[in-house]
Chain A
Amino acid sequence: MTDEVLGTRRLSKRFKGFTAVDNVDLSVKKGHIHALIGPNGAGKTTLFNLLTRFTEPSAGEIHFNGRSVCALPPREVARRGMVRSFQISAVFASLSVLDNVRLALQRELGMSFHFWKSDRVLNRLNDRAMALLESVGLTGVASHAAGSLPYGHKRALELATTLAMDPVLMLLDEPTQGMGYEDVDRVTALIQQVAVGRTVLMVEHNMKVVASIADTLSVLQRGRLIASGGYQEVSTNPRVMEAYMGTAPGHGKESVA
């Protein structure tokens, strides 16, 4: 398929006596918001770690933009445009909000090793950094320490930092986890907004979020991909209903964030 951004062939990860990811053939299409769902322990985060090369697969292939990434270190995958976020909000706590975003931008200046220069040389990135903060609604707290932000803001900051990498493909690990209702709505709208012109693969438990923004849905259960397709198609799939959603599609027990 030519419109495939990310694809895996028989991807597996076995830990001692336990298969976390089992022969997964995943295909993420360009421009889609692709949601990955499944009960706890289904292997979603392990799959994320495999895709971004944070974990070495036991078997299988990963193709990104038509090229195998299986021999690359994780930083190289990121530099090629597949940028991930983390399940726990990953910000640089002791740096300011602005500095957090600038860190994603500064590598391209090629002076990250310049220990003799003042950090004022980074001020040229401020406009772009502020624009990114604007897009996630954080301009008001730009000078605050990232560690002091409330949870929802941290997730928004993480999104802005990820966006600063100008990724082709964003991998978001439970972007709305642990958020209140207002925050969930805000972040959902945000993801939809930033997904324009990009591809998003997200792990998400909140079925309301998935139903409202995902173009494609893949369901993992005990490491296996048991269904893939549109929301209607997947949510009425008997195997999915049995394994994951109970009998009431869209209102499974996992839908409460």
Chain B
Amino acid sequence: MTRPMCYGFLLLALVAAPWMGLYPVLGTKILCYALFACAFHLLLGYTGLASLGHAAFLGVGGYVAGYGIKAWALSPELALLAGLSVGALMGLVMGYVSIRRSGIYFTMITLALAQLVYFLCVQIPQTGGEDGLQGIDRGMLFGFIDLHNDRVMYYTTLTIGVAAFLFIARVVRSPFGQALTAIKDNEPRAVSLGYHPDRYKLLVFTLSAALTGLAGALKAIGLGFVTLSDVHWMTSGHALLMTLVGGLGTLSGPVVGAVVLVTLENKIGELGALLAGVTGIGWFATLGESVMMIMGIVFVICVLAFRRGIMGELDALRRRVRTPNPAPESQS
């Protein structure tokens, strides 16, 4: 199967999903997290920088969109734009502070800054504190697309998600993407060719944050609420998990990771009840309460058994099938 065919199938499945029994609101949620994971991966996959600050962009993007709709009756398109802009702005500032460091230091700085944002969100009245923002009206997109219909909301989200995905695909195959890859491969060499790595990293950090802000705004509109858990650093960990489960370094990996994990998270209770019914073991019925434990186990299995992630493993498998004599390839 060729790569365009894979993407075709994935898109087809996402288009058909609401007609195959997927609850559109859950679908919307999955797509928002997929966009979030893709944005996160734009940074991690192309600079190697793991940010624990992305929850701040997601949460604040959502808060700004939600607050704008509730307080100023912003139209959905303006609310989305606001989420995107706030994400970009925060990314620029947070990136400026953190980008000079790499590895664990970078991660810790982004984490610290995200915690700062978290406590601000707890304190200021506009976020609704512990209650969060509830009952955000979806409104009419461009004045004539009624987002109150769940399926319309789903397809709107899908359209925006696909556009964002294509945008990311363009970024990584642009002159900028080339420079970014070079810097990731060998930073001193890039410097010796006259490149200024920090500027490239700052730009990609800002782009990633902007898309994350967009995902947050989209999620606020689609689900109708924003809570503190969106700004909590665990949400950044979630994006990291989705990326790793889906496959680091593959464009579609984060999408697949988001689909798998969000579905698992939301359906594990039902799955547990089903297992309890079939096997007669009552313990399974409590699975829904231990979502975090299940996620932990998934992560451990992923790290131990298939480190390349789902798409990475599929890629490797495909290459093995295509190579008639796999023996000399086995080391690669």
Chain A interface residues toward B at CB < 8 A: 52, 54, 73-76, 78-79, 83-86, 90-95, 99-100, 102-104, 106-107, 109, 111-119, 121-122, 161, 165
Contact = CB atoms under 8 A, between A and B. Distances in A.
A104 B178 CA distance: 11
20 contacts: A74-B191, A75-B196, A83-B192, A86-B188, A91-B189, A92-B189, A94-B185, A95-B181, A103-B178, A107-B194, A109-B175, A112-B195, A113-B200, A115-B170, A115-B171, A115-B177, A115-B203, A119-B173, A122-B178, A165-B194
Contact residues on B (Cβ < 8 Å of other chain), bracket: 20 to 34
Given A115-B176, A118-B173, A93 B186 contact: yes
B195 A115 contact: no
A117 B192 contact: no
A84 B178 contact: no
B199 interface: yes
B251 to A, nearest CB: 15
B260 interface: no
Contacts of A54: 188, 191
Interface of B: 170-171, 173-179, 181-182, 184-186, 188-196, 199-200, 203-204, 207
B174 A114 contact: yes
Contacts of A74: 191-192
Contacts of B190: 92, 103
A112 B179 CA distance: 7
B190 to A, nearest CB: 8
Nearest to A52: B192
Given A86-B188, A103-B178, A119-B175, A113 B203 contact: yes
B181 A106 contact: no
Contacts of A112: 175-176, 179, 195, 200
A161 B190 CA distance: 11
B170 to A, nearest CB: 7
Contact of B178 (A52, A76, A93, A119): A119
A84 B192 contact: yes
